[in-house]
Amino acid sequence: MVTRRSVTVCSVTVTHVKRAFKFRFYPTDAQAAELSRTFGCVRKVYNMALAARSEAWTLRHERVSYNATSAMLTAWKKTEELAFLAEVSCVPLQQCLRHLQGAFSNFWQRRAKYPRFKSKKKSRDSAEYTTSAFRYRNGCLTLAKMTEPLDIVWSRPLPEGQSPSTVTVSRDAAGRWFVSMLCEDPAVKTLPTVDTAVGIDVGITSLVTLSTGEKITNPKHERRDRERLAKVQRGLSRKAKGSANREKARRKVARVHARIADRRRDFLHKLTTRLVRENQTVVIEDLTARNMLKNRKLARAISDASWSELRTMLEYKAQWYGRELVTIDRWFPSSKLCSACGAIRDKMPLNVRVWECDCGAVHDRDVNAARNILAAGLAAAACGDGVRPQRSTPGGRSSVKQEVVPPQRARAAAQPRG
């Protein structure tokens, strides 16, 4: 009996890691007005540059470079209609052009879709400052065009002796202001090697089931606040469009969503950090959450579980701490494969949580899947079966070559290494 599957092995040792430390701050009225103008100018320049590049390609099949858009920005500032662009710091405007260049590079290399225009209502308000546009001294951060430092809530200190190389100021839909400082973190280094490995099966009732048999219950943050969310959404639907009361109601809805997202992110950070610190090898499945969200009955629960964010955190933390992350193919029959004898059942409906194999073994569906995931991942790591490059972007996928691998070989590789 054989199974078809392919895997991704990610094992990178990082010596110098740059981390973004995000803090909340409370701007004065003058600072809020200056930042709001900067956000608007960044959005305006980005959209104008995108329109210019799209028009050049559509009409003349000409690719416009970053240097060309930078020259356009200089010319725009000299016009009477766009003279307001010169009133804000020039660094965030140049940075948004660099971000646009990166978006086009990802599009040309088929890692992302074509860049889209920024919307005043839907896009995230943000502005990026480099070292020439801010001053950081003695724990005080002052941005260009401002005389007073930002009133930052220092929830944790920056790494000792380090100064930020880039500062990004943002405002979320709930009206909260954040500043993100990018700097090197010497505390991030390769952890001592351990001899443990774990397979992870994600789910809805149990967010994570480990090959050790441990089940971590899904907190279901969205369901806990669903009643409150429904109440504020009903209030929003009653407000007249374009009114000040509707804007207040919209922010109430945004605050509930922000509360849910913050708690979910905090839980996932603690869980992924624990898994990476305790295990040398972590094996997961390459699930396509985007396709699974098409299931109308499970879409809400899958979105609340946030499997994609869980995988993303495992990927970069494994790189940080020198661990090995193995991703097996999504078509690997982890739930239908008996971890004792290697037999595969034809069907396994979602309502079947415990099943018995013909060999007499009784399996918990999730624990059995996690053990099979671990066995397949260790077989690939030990034998080099079906290895493919790590995905380049959170949404990108590379071509996969399927290979036929006997389950007995996978189970043999899963045995403890002596």
Query: Would you kindly state where each structural domain of the chain is located, as residue ranges?
Result: 3-14+192-216+273-414, 18-184
Question: Active-site residue 286, yes or no?
Answer: no
Spell out the residues 6+ positions from residue 155 whose beta carbon is closer than 8 angstroms to its own.
23, 24
Q: How many C-beta neighbours within 10 Å does residue 27 have? A: 20
Question: Active-site residue 366, yes or no?
Answer: yes
pLDDT tier, 235 (very low <50, low <70, confident <90, very high otherwise): very high
Catalytic residue among 125, 128, 201, 385: 201
**Which of helix, strand or coil describes residue 126?**
strand
Q: Which of 72-81, 166-175, 236-245, 347-356 has the lowest mean pLDDT?
A: 347-356
Amino acid 230: pLDDT: 96
Amino acid 40: pLDDT: 96
pLDDT tier, 386 (very low <50, low <70, confident <90, very high otherwise): very low
Catalytic residue among 125, 222, 285, 286: 285
Average pLDDT over the chain, rounded to whole? 87
Would the CA dihedral through 105, 402, 210, 418 be positive or negative? Answer: negative
pTM for the predicted model, two decimal places: 0.82
Catalytic residue among 222, 286, 315, 366: 366
Q: Rounded distance, CA 111 to CA 393, Å?
A: 7
Amino acid 241: pLDDT: 93
Structural Rg of the chain based on CA atoms: 25
Amino acid 112: pLDDT: 93
Question: Active-site residue 315, yes or no?
Answer: no
Q: Rounded distance, CA 169 to CA 259, Å?
A: 20
